[in-house]
Structure 1
């Protein structure tokens, strides 16, 4: 690459890299995750962006959940821990109000993939 072009592009390269956050490599499908969220009725307890009718207030809003440090106040916010929480919340916190909805492993991965789009 010629030096003049590199000098001109340097500010653009810096801007492109600023504020960029790594999205974890997720095995699920966010499109299927949106469908699973609806099928399991998650929106009856949670506000979930872009999910029609997801306006419940029993549980916390899931808006921007991908940017949170913790899940359920105790788990590090990683895809593995999110899947764990979705599948068996009572195993993480026996006193939780979140019910075990018998979410399959595949659906939990898809739901997690969708929730990680909520930045």
Structure 2
């Protein structure tokens, strides 16, 4: 029996385990649904319509327009990341909604004319969109 080959196989198996654990750590859905304190999802939908978020995004609950520049927000409540980079947590999402470039200078999303309360309501609505 060649012990070097057995050791190499064990090392590969250990590496696969470590990579598997690391990958699973990136997807934290333990606290779904994400509560947003003092927020009203229905008011968030009103803000979304008034501010015109659907000019860039397709948003469930908004029939027109159906923007494609920013991508669909269907299922955003179940996603582990915002814009593929930031943890999808209420405080981060609220800041993202108000001033996305402050969190990611390379984003195409502009700062939005939202108050903290409006952004909180919009986040609460977006977190209701948990199924793609």
Aligned counterpart, 2:40:
29
Could you list the per-position Cα deviations for residues 47-67 of structure 1 after superposition, in whole angstroms to 9, with x for gaps in the alignment? 000112141001021000001
With normalisation by structure 1, the TM-score equals 0.78
Matched, 1:107 2:127: no
The structure that has the greater radius of gyration is 2
Matched, 1:70 2:76: no
CA contact (8 A) 1:87 1:103 kept: yes
CA contact (8 A) 2:93 2:123 kept: yes
Give 5+ residue unaligned stretches, structure 1.
1-20
- Equivalence map 1:5-84=2 (5 Å): 22-27=32-37, 28-84=39-95
With normalisation by structure 2, the TM-score equals 0.71
Give 5+ residue unaligned stretches, structure 2.
1-30
Aligned counterpart, 1:95:
106
Count of residues in Structure 1 that have an aligned counterpart in Structure 2: 99
Structure 1 outlier segments of 4+, above 4 Å: none
Mapped to 2, the partners of 1:81 and 1:65 lie a distance apart of: 13
Mapped to 2, the partners of 1:71 and 1:35 lie a distance apart of: 22
